[in-house]
């Protein structure tokens, strides 16, 4: 797993994007309201999309192993967070004017009707199940979640059959928003969410 950890650390070091001012075409950045309006008019029908930093990202179709992992995670977390929490799956987070990610699994405080007027702005735990999107989840998604103070971000890495846990988000002057604590857990390990330290989750229980 040392090789996986080194790969993770390399990929999560995001260099700031350079803005070109030499007359080249500019990238259009969409707002969350524009994004929802396009959805209402059927622009994304039949597609899995997310709004990240003003960019509309089309996600790959979900494979059966990915879906199985999501179901396993949801079932386990709903037993752990039985009262005072909601365990959502692929529902929007409200991270401001240009961000509406839809994590595979998110644990948020409160009751269902608490979010009738607005999507959740923070989560106690976010989990992305990752196969084809591993690099994206380690970089852009990790940076976005760190920026929005998600203190416990997990990537269930189906490719390497391990769980990557990201904690202690900060803003680095050179690298932007990053997680300063990254740990890799294998199938024989047990982990606990920060919001439920008394709970013990076997990594093998959530791998398909």
Per-residue model confidence as pLDDT tens digits over 32-59: 999 999 999 999 998 989 999 999 999 8
Query: Distance between CA 85 and CA 122 in Å, rounded?
Result: 12
The model's pLDDT over 68-98, given as tens digits with 9 standing for 90+, comes to 999 999 999 999 999 999 999 999 999 999 9
The pLDDT assigned to 10 comes to 55
The pLDDT assigned to 60 comes to 84
Query: Distance between CA 167 and CA 192 in Å, rounded?
Result: 12
The residue extents of the domains of the chain are 2-15+61-206
Asked whether residue 196 carries a pLDDT value surpassing 60, the answer given is: yes
Q: Which of 161, 150, 163 is nearest to 192 (CA)?
A: 163
Write out the E strands in 14-124.
Answer: 48-52, 55-59, 85-88, 105-109
Which residues fall within 8 angstroms of residue 202, CB to CB, at 6 or more apart? 189, 190
CB atoms within 10 A of CB 179: 22
CATH code for the part of the protein at 2-15+61-206: 3.90.1570.10
Q: Which of 114, 119, 109, 106 is nearest to 85 (CA)?
A: 109
Predicted TM-score of the model (pTM) = 0.86
**What mean pLDDT is predicted for residues 145-168?**
98
Query: Distance between CA 164 and CA 82 in Å, rounded?
Result: 24
Which residues fall within 8 angstroms of residue 103, CB to CB, at 6 or more apart? 88, 90, 93, 123, 126, 127, 128
Helix segments in the chain, DSSP class H: 2-11, 32-40, 64-80, 134-136, 142-147, 203-206
Whole-number mean pLDDT of the chain?
90
CB 27 within 8 A of CB 37: no
């Amino acid at each position: 797993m040392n090789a996986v950890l080194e790969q993770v650390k390399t990929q999560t070091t995001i260099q700031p994007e350079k803005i070109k001012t030499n007359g080249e075409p500019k990238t259009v950045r969409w707002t969350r309201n524009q994004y929802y309006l396009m959805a209402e008019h059927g622009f994304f029908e039949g597609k899995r999309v997310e709004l990240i930093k003003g960019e509309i990202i089309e996600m790959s179709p979900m494979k059966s192993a990915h879906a199985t992992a999501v179901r396993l995670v949801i079932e386990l977390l709903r037993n752990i967070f039985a009262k005072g929490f909601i365990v959502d799956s692929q529902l929007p987070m409200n991270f401001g004017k240009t961000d509406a990610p839809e994590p595979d699994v998110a644990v948020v405080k409160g009751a269902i009707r608490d979010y009738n007027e607005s999507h959740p702005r923070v989560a106690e735990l976010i989990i992305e199940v990752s196969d084809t999107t591993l690099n994206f989840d380690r970089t852009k998604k990790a940076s976005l979640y760190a920026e929005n103070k998600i203190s416990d971000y997990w990537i269930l890495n189906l490719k390497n059959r391990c769980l990557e846990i990201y904690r202690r988000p900060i803003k680095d002057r050179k690298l932007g928003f990053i997680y300063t604590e990254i740990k890799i857990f294998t199938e024989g390990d047990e982990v606990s969410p920060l919001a439920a330290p008394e709970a013990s989750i076997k990594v093998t229980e959530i791998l398909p």
